[in-house]
Structures are given as structure tokens and as C-alpha cells.
Amino acid sequence: AGGSFAYTRREPLGVCGGIGAWNYPIQGAAWKLGPALCGGNALVFKPAEATVLTALALAEVVVEAGAPPGLFNVVLGAGGTGQLLSTHGDIKKISFTGEAGTGKAISRDAAGTLKKVTMELGGKSPLIIFDDADLPNAVAAAMMANWYSCGEVCSNGTRVFVHKDIREAFLEQLLARTAKLKIGDPMDPATDVGAMINEAHLQTVLSYIEKGVAEGGRMLAGSAERHVPADPALAGGAFVAPVVFDGVGDDATIVREEIF
């Protein structure tokens, strides 16, 4: 209508909540803190229970940088603490990184106060290798896509589809290079594959390997048993050797579910 003027003004939400995952603890905290601050908001961040120290260290850095009290806050606790963030009326947005089941619960909780929600959930990404691929490069990509950071990455390309004409050559190179990976102390620069985050997660991963075998997959590398590194000091650690399955059906658990 004549004389009317409509516009949108971007304003800070106020206080945002962040819930992080354990596989990228310091990065996850920074990825939530940066956008919140750039938008003029404060952040209350809950790190995963298994990795709290990096978030606390980041909070100290923020204070040392001169941020006012209350701009970045770290709260520790289990799932109930995260639920408090999701349901609290004064928190206007929730950013969550983690598995899909928890994401669904947070979405339901946040709906009660009409919070804005951002989710970064699990994945089961495909890696597709055609017959004209550079084979050594394709093998390197498959190894990076599966075993980088012990395989504990939600975007890993854990389903590898290889053209039938290069399948055997691909497997030959993949298995040869996998056998040379050094499993051991993650603080040793020579180590290729370190330990799982904890014993409970190790048992979860081993149970998935057992399901892969039970559901008809052919295990070409690795084992469904705890790996024991050569260093006696690492005996009893949460180590699992890299596993390669072949001939797994599309309905298999290890194909449909995120393992890490």
C-alpha cells in the first residue's frame, strides 16, 4: 500500500546454547563460539563428558583475551545438563553436534520454547571410485576417508563403491597399505592409528565388527578382537586394527549405521 515500508532488521538472539561432541572437542567448541560472537550473542557450551578439558582451556583463553564475564560459559555434565539448555526459556538457539537419536530428542525439547536449532548429526557417506580413477590416489583417499582420526569422524566415507573392472587391483593395493599402518601411541608422530576414545566405545566398535561378520560380510583385514600394540606399555588400551569388509549387503547393519 502507498506510504508503507516493510523491512527486516537483524538483531542478536541473546544467549545461545551449544552441545559438542567428543571427536573434535576444541574445534567443535570454536565452531559454535565464533558464529555466536559474530552475531552479537553469548554462548553457554556443554562439551561431551569424555572431553571437557579443551572447552575449559578455551574459556580461559577467551577470558585472557578480554571478553566480558558471561560471554562464553562452559557447563559440565551428562545428558541432563544438555536437556536443561534445550528447554531453558532464556536460551534462544541450540547448536548440537552428535548422533541422530540425541538430535531428535533435542529438537523435541527445543520445540517447547520455539528455539532455533542447528544440527550436525551422524553420517554414512559414500566414496565412489570409477574405473578411470588414479588407483594409488583412490586408495589413499579411501584410507583417509575411513581411518583419519581413528575413523572417529561423522563425515567419513565408510561405504566405498569401486567399479568392478578395478575392484581386485584396488583391494590388492588397499590391503597392502593397510597392513603397513602402525597402531600405537597417538602422541608418537610415527603412529598412523591411535586408540579409541574409551573402553566403552571400543566395545561398541568391536560389536559392529562382529555384526558385519554375522550378517555375511567378508572381513579382509582387521579383527573383531582388541588389538594389542607391540609396546607393552600400551597393553590393555582401547585399540582396534583397521577393518576392511567386502561383499556386504545394502541392508547390513555396518552399511546402514554410523559405527564410531
Cα-Cα-Cα-Cα torsion 166, 171, 177, 182, nearest 10 degrees, comes to 150
Cα distances from 10 to residues 15, 40, 113, 177, in angstroms, run 15, 10, 20, 52
Residue that wins the pLDDT comparison between 229 and 96: 96
Across 20-26, average pLDDT: 95
Residue that wins the pLDDT comparison between 155 and 171: 171
What are the cell numbers at 56? 575449559
Read off the pLDDT band of 2 (50, 70, 90). confident
Q: Give the separation between CA 201 and CA 47, rounded to whole angstroms.
A: 17
The pLDDT of residue 117 is 97
The pLDDT of residue 230 is 84
Q: Please report how many Cα atoms fall inside a 13 Å half-sphere around the Cα of residue 15, on the Cβ side.
A: 14
Q: What is the pTM of this model?
A: 0.88
Q: Name residue, grid cell 581386485.
A: 168
The pLDDT of residue 176 is 98
Contact by Cβ (8 Å): 7, 37: no
Between the two ends of the chain, the Cα-to-Cα distance in Å is 57
SS3 call for 68: coil
Q: What percent of the chain has pLDDT over 70?
A: 100
The pLDDT of residue 1 is 55
pLDDT tens digit sequence for 35-87: 999 999 999 999 999 999 999 999 999 999 999 999 999 999 999 999 999 99
Phi and psi (nearest 5°) for 175?
A: -65, -35
The pLDDT of residue 42 is 98
What are the cell numbers at 125? 557417506
- Mean of pLDDT over the chain: 95
Alpha helix positions (H), the chain: 25-38, 53-64, 79-87, 100-111, 135-147, 167-179, 199-214, 253-256
Would you please indicate which residues are annotated as catalytic (active-site) residues? 120
Read off the pLDDT band of 8 (50, 70, 90). very high
Domains along the chain with CATH numbers: 15-120 (3.40.605.10), 126-256 (3.40.309.10)
